[in-house]
Each structure stands twice: as structure tokens, then as C-alpha cells.
A and B are shown apart, each in its own frame.
Chain A
């Protein structure tokens, strides 16, 4: 009985960034413990659709295969998630795969997440330590705080939270939850804190934090369980004070 058990896939396909998407169905032979990527690899090995016609292999991205790089994100049965950790046994069939259309589609399931990396640059999601001489060791971080910060540092820029957000779309230039939470991470670091105001001012610019409409889909969707809405609310408080400082001036340096 196990021999001829198949899994049905309905996959959204698109030849070029501007061409119209269409769907194609595939019947893949079932193997125990399959994930979505192994099914896509199977199609790549033998690109024949459910009608028995020869077709082109499907394009998608992947890298780590253990849900830490974020590259393989796609919309699986209506929800954005990583295809490497999406197990066929746990999915309702037919399995529908679509690209995360919040981002420009490159081809089939592959999207261009550049905007997220641009946002990380915009908000200065790093700690500047380069100089012309050795600056010495930075201040120590309390272990408890380090553990807390570690949770925020798990973000893999996968884009799921942007896909889930109703305010990230072509009508708005909202940078989305992920880069905001990174601001909180770097501002919490004892050395990163030195550039706190710069990062806050970056997210007070256009497309910044005030575009959040509190739908809180992001925190429900993040595969890494990052407390995105808590980060955003905390940054709301920080930007409130930063706004007052900018407007009235401040005697603290």
C-alpha cells in the first residue's frame, strides 16, 4: 500500500518578475518524514506535472535546511513559514505553495528580500567598533540580559513577519517589524547603546515605527518566537522620549 501513496502539491509559478502567475499541480511519491523542500527536489529531479506533462523545475531558495537562515520562506497552505521545517505529514493536502508576494517575486517561489537588508542598513543594525586604534574590551553585559538579548538576536530576516503585516504593502513604505526589533537589540547592548539616538531617529523617519497599526500578526507568525510587539511598544516609549528631547532639547548628553 505504501508504494503508490502520493502527495498532491498545487504550486504557484511565475516565469519572470512581471509575468502573470499560474498554478501547476504535481503528484509526488510519498516518503516518510518528507519536508516540503524534499518534494521540491523530487520535482527538480523529475519535472513532470500531475497531467504527466514535462515542465520546468521549480525555482526556490534554500540554504541551511535547519530553519536558521530564513531563505526558504514561502506561503504554505496560506501561512508564511520555512519550507525546510514544514513536514509533509503535518500538512493538510493538497499542499499549496505560493511565494511571499509582499516581496518582489523573482521566479516561482523565489522572492527578493533586499528591502529587509536595506532596512537593516537604514536603522544601523550593528555595533560600530572599528577605529584606528584598539578600543579595548567593551563593558560587560549581565548574563540575564544576554539571555534576553539572545532571543531577539535569533531573527533570520526571513520576512514572515512582513508578509503577515497588513501595513507592509505596496501602498506604504513601512519597514516592518523585524528591523524595528533589531533596533531594540542593538540599543540594549552596552556598546551599541552609544548610538541609541541615531537608531531611534532612523525609525522615526518615513516608513518607520509609527506605521505600526498594532494588528500583532507578526508576533503570532514569527517562527523564532521573537517578542516583536513588545519590542515595538518598548521602542514606542523610547521614540516618545527621543521626540521630546529633539523638540524641547535636553540637558542629558
Chain B
């Protein structure tokens, strides 16, 4: 494995994007959806998540470290591409470019989001419905979150499609086409979950 580091890093990057980061994303969106049931229901869920045993360890191993690696190596991948959708306007080439663009937007969004919630929490602010309500009361922040959520969900759904190709799970054109449809449905479904939770904070 030492001899082919690039192979190992690229595959690790692909794997971490889905397991654990992608799984965590789905979990996070679903838990946030408690917000549609009102402040009390969201606070209860946030409390449960926030007080999980070994929280710091879980967060570090399952979220922060994989995310950090995925983000840094992903930036490197994004900037080694010479995008050419102008010349080759095929669907997959657009997805290729959007995967890189959404990756960068997601990185900015997630960095800000972590700063605003987790770092603030570390300094003693309580993470609850009230906090999100305050943040989202500014129209700019609301739209920033809309773009951030859509970009994150797109990056995950399309990344899942690439993951299946990169690990040799979908090989034939037909299997790749079917997973294109499946990941489009996933994109729509997760966007709905994320945006409906977001809207219920205002």
C-alpha cells in the first residue's frame, strides 16, 4: 500500500465522503427535521444528540477527522481539474464540474456552520432552537443556509454516484444510468428534508 499512496488516498477520500460523512449528513438532516414539530421537539432531539455518551470522541472520529481529510484532499482534486463544459457540454461533464464547485461551496458553508454552532457551543452558548432562530432571522444568513444545504446535498448525492463507479460497483452504462436516477431522487428527498427544517426556524 505504501507504494501507491495516491491510489490509497483517492480511495480513502471517496470512502470517507460516504462513510461516515455522508451517513452523518443524512442523520443530521433527519434530526434537524424535528424543528418542523416546533421548538420543544427540536430542543429535545438536539439535547439527546448533544448529550450522547463519548460525544467528543464520536464527533472527532466520525465527523471532524474524516471531514477534514475529505475537504483538504478534495480541494486538491478540485484544483487539478481543467473544467471544459464550454466545449463538452455533456450531462456527466456538468456533474463533474458541479461536484467540484459544490465541494468548495460546501466547505465554506460547513466551516462557517461549525464555527457558528459547535465552536460557539464550546464557549458555552447553548445549541437550541433559539440559536438557529436568531441566526436565520437575517435574510442573508437564511439564503446562505439554503445555498449551503442544497450544495451539500448535491455534493453528497452526486458523490454517491461517483463512489459507486470508483469502487467498481456500477460498471455498465445501464447500471450507471439507474444510479443517476436514484441519486437524483435522493437529492430531491434530502433537499426537502433539509429545507423544510430550515424554513420552520423562521
- Chain A residues within 8 Å of B, Cβ to Cβ: 78-79, 164, 166-167, 169, 171-172, 201, 204-217, 220-221, 227, 229-230, 232-240, 243, 246-247
Contact = CB atoms under 8 A, between A and B. Distances in A.
A206 B6 contact: yes
A79 B90 CA distance: 13
Contacts of B77: 213
Nearest to A238: B168
A211 B80 CA distance: 10
Contacts of A171: 79-80, 82
B11 interface: yes
B171 A166 contact: no
Interface in B1-19: 1, 3-8, 10-11
Contacts of B173: 227, 229-230
Given A171-B80, A216-B92, A221-B88, A233 B176 contact: yes
A237 B168 contact: yes
A39 B167 CA distance: 47
Interface string B10-46: 1100000000000000000000000000000000000
B197 to A, nearest CB: 31
B201 to A, nearest CB: 36
A216 to B, nearest CB: 4
Contacts of B5: 206
Majority secondary structure, B binding face: helix
Nearest to A237: B168
Nearest to B7: A204
B170 interface: yes
Interface string B153-172: 00000000110011111111
A214 B90 contact: no
A234 to B, nearest CB: 5
A237 B92 contact: no
B81 interface: yes
Contacts of A229: 165, 173, 176
A233 B173 CA distance: 10
Interface of B: 1, 3-8, 10-11, 77, 79-84, 87-88, 90, 92-93, 95-97, 99, 161-162, 165-173, 176
Nearest to A168: B82
A216 B172 CA distance: 13
Nearest to B166: A236
B166 A167 contact: no
Contacts of B169: 237
B11 A210 contact: yes
A212 B99 CA distance: 13
A61 to B, nearest CB: 22
A220 B170 contact: no
Given A233-B171, A234-B171, A237-B171, A217 B165 contact: no
A220 B90 contact: yes
Contacts of B166: 210, 212, 214, 236
Given A166-B93, A205-B3, A214 B165 contact: yes
Given A166-B82, A208-B7, A216 B90 contact: yes
B84 A217 contact: yes
Contacts of A238: 168
A232 B8 CA distance: 17
Contacts of A243: 1, 7-8, 11
